[in-house]
Every structure is written in C-alpha cells, then in structure tokens.
A = this chain, B = another copy of it.
C-alpha cells in the first residue's frame, strides 16, 4: 500500500511520485474540482464524514501524510527536503490533513517514534497516519509557561503500577476536539525540577479530564484550559522513562518550532496578499508603506529560503536550533503583517457594520502576537539560539538544582 519510492528520492522525484499517486487515487470529481480551483467542493469532500475519512485513510496508508517516518512504521523514510516535495504535491489539490492534526502528525508521531515502545508505536502510529485520532499537547500550566520545567501537575504512582494525575494545563490547542493528549507531569517532587518529570500519552476520554476553551483576544477560541482531576492512567501510558520526561519533551518541542514555519518552498506568501490588498486600498501608492511592505516581502522570501536550506542541510536528522531561528522570524513577520494590515486599510479595520464578522485585516491585527507567544515565546527562542547556535552561557536559575518542592512558589 505504501507509495513505491526510494528513501533516497530527491525532492522532485518525491513530488512526481506523490503527484502521480494523487492523480490516480483522488476521486474523479474531487480531482476535477481541484484542477478547476473549485475549492469549496474540495472542502466539502474532506468534510464529508465518510468520504473524508476514507480519503485520509488512503492517504495515510500510502505514507503520504507521514513521509519522513520510517517505512516500517508506515512512512516513506524520506529526507526532510524530499518530504517537502510530497507535501507540495498534496498541497496543490488541498487534500492534506488539516492544521488541527498538526500536534499529532508533527509532534506526537515523531516523539512516539523516538521514545515509544513497540506496543505504543503499534497502537498509535497507524491511526495517527490514517487520520483516526486527533492529538493535543498538555504541557504549559498557569504557573509554568516559559519555564516549562516548573510545572506542578502531579502524577502519582499507585501500588498497582497505574498513575493518578491532578493538575491544570493551559494553551492546549484543540484539546476540546482531541482523542489523545501529550502530557508532562511531575512524578518526583524531591528531585530538581527537570529531573522529576515524566511524559504520558493520555486518552482524553478518561474520566476526570475536562477541556474548556479559552477565548483569545481575537475572539477566537482555539486554545483550552484542561483540568485533570484524579485522572487514572494505565502503566502503558508512560512514554520513555519514569522521571525522564524532560528529554522526551525536548523532542516534541524541537519538532514544534520546526513545524510552525511552513513548507520548504519559495513563493507567494502573506506579504504578497498584503501587497495586493494595499494596491486595492491605494496604500501601495504611499512610498513609506510601500517600502515597509517590500521589506516584509524580502523577509518572508528570505525565511522561505531559510526553510529550504534547513530542510536541505538537515537530510534525515532532526532539525536543530535553526527551527528556533525560523520560528522567531516567523513571529516577527506575523507581527509586522498584522501591523501593516491595519495601516493598509486604516478605517476598514476600525469599524464595520454590526453583526458582520470581523474583517480579516482586523483579525490579523489582533492576532499579530500569536506566534511571538505561542509554542515558546520569542524570548525563549532567543535563549535557545544564543545557547545552542552560539554557545553562550545560560542565565543563572537559582532553583535549577533545588528539589522541586523546596523552590519558591511561582505565580
């Protein structure tokens, strides 16, 4: 069932093979709709419970949703650059998995592949690839944001080897829609903070798990608070070693930074949309705004070129601190995009007829800080870049080596 493609395939070979497979396997009506740019029809197909599920199952079975995973685990074993070719092929027809699957496919899968037992791989990877499970991340807490290792959600081992979890998580994207969660919890508070954490795979239907959507400043509610109250987990929910969860989490976090920047290709982006919008409103005729828009265009193209280079240089190894470089720049681009969206249409973002939805420029303006904060703040990315790329010393953390339960209370 897996696509017949050598693991050494180049980007263009991978693109060609995936494209051929897609043209062969996409239902005729969907292929025609995609080729005719009738995107509403394509979306309806994916949203159709039966047809959509069948399509994602086929895509997953062919390895096209998980091109970098090893073939023996249902992937194609491709390099990052070649996998980009596959993604590019799927994107043409807009028939790939949605952003709500990002946590599962991009974070959960690779983390399970690196740290999971055979049984865990068996249980989770197939359904993930075929779109049967949605995953969320249960990392941040109200008192542990940038300082993730300061988390205080407890998982206590029972006599029978099961675990009981209590605590509160926050900023969990799509947790209210998810089947499983990637959970970090403290399993030994007598150890220093990084060393007493374990990593669990949590069935979100377990009694005691309650996800409550959080409204953001944009008015959207994509993130959640998740309350964990006497949640019982089986022994096999543990991923990696007891108290070895920090190392597992690093895998997840590196994938996260890497994955938030977009695909490795140079072409149209947000700045191009904004340039067109500015031409419509007349703002492009203002040379000062025009040059800021062009600086944004330069920055976005340079970021795309950096993503291409990162994937090309990474080969089959995981992307490292350069993921932080890209995330940081992406955040800056998002911020400037939001700021410019307002300047390009100053009155349009300020007021609109009651009852109508928020104009997209106003939404972009309000969302400008999203990436600067979510998925590790820009300050944290700068620390990572300085320490890993440049070898600078860490900031002193007076509680780093203190047993967790002896630290000062965080608020």
> Which residues from chain A sit less than 8 Å from chain B, CB to CB?
286-288, 291, 396, 398
State which of B288, B396, B398 has its C-beta within 8 Å of the C-beta of A291.
B288
Using Cβ atoms and an 8 Å threshold, which residues of chain B touch A286? 287
Number of copies: 2
**What separation, in Å, do the CA atoms of A398 and B288 have in the docked complex?**
48
Residue from the set A288, A396, A398 with the largest chain B CB neighbour count within 10 Å: A288
Looking at the assembled complex, report how far the CB atom of A73 sits from the nearest CB atom of chain B, in whole angstroms. Answer: 46
**What separation, in Å, do the CA atoms of A248 and B305 have in the docked complex?**
55
Looking at the assembled complex, report how far the CB atom of A293 sits from the nearest CB atom of chain B, in whole angstroms. Answer: 12
**What separation, in Å, do the CA atoms of A288 and B287 have in the docked complex?**
6
**What separation, in Å, do the CA atoms of A194 and B371 have in the docked complex?**
43
Using Cβ atoms and an 8 Å threshold, which residues of chain B touch A287? 286-288
**What separation, in Å, do the CA atoms of A249 and B396 have in the docked complex?**
29
Using Cβ atoms and an 8 Å threshold, which residues of chain B touch A288? 287-288, 291
Using Cβ atoms and an 8 Å threshold, which residues of chain B touch A398? 396
Q: List 7 A-B contacts (CB under 8 A).
A: A286-B287, A287-B287, A287-B288, A288-B288, A288-B291, A396-B396, A396-B398
Looking at the assembled complex, report how far the CB atom of A350 sits from the nearest CB atom of chain B, in whole angstroms. Answer: 23
CB closest residue in chain B, given A396: B396
CB closest residue in chain B, given A287: B287
Looking at the assembled complex, report how far the CB atom of A411 sits from the nearest CB atom of chain B, in whole angstroms. Answer: 14
CB closest residue in chain B, given A288: B291
Looking at the assembled complex, report how far the CB atom of A291 sits from the nearest CB atom of chain B, in whole angstroms. Answer: 5
Looking at the assembled complex, report how far the CB atom of A202 sits from the nearest CB atom of chain B, in whole angstroms. Answer: 37
CB closest residue in chain B, given A397: B396
CB closest residue in chain B, given A286: B287
**What separation, in Å, do the CA atoms of A398 and B393 have in the docked complex?**
15
**What separation, in Å, do the CA atoms of A398 and B395 have in the docked complex?**
12
**What separation, in Å, do the CA atoms of A288 and B291 have in the docked complex?**
7
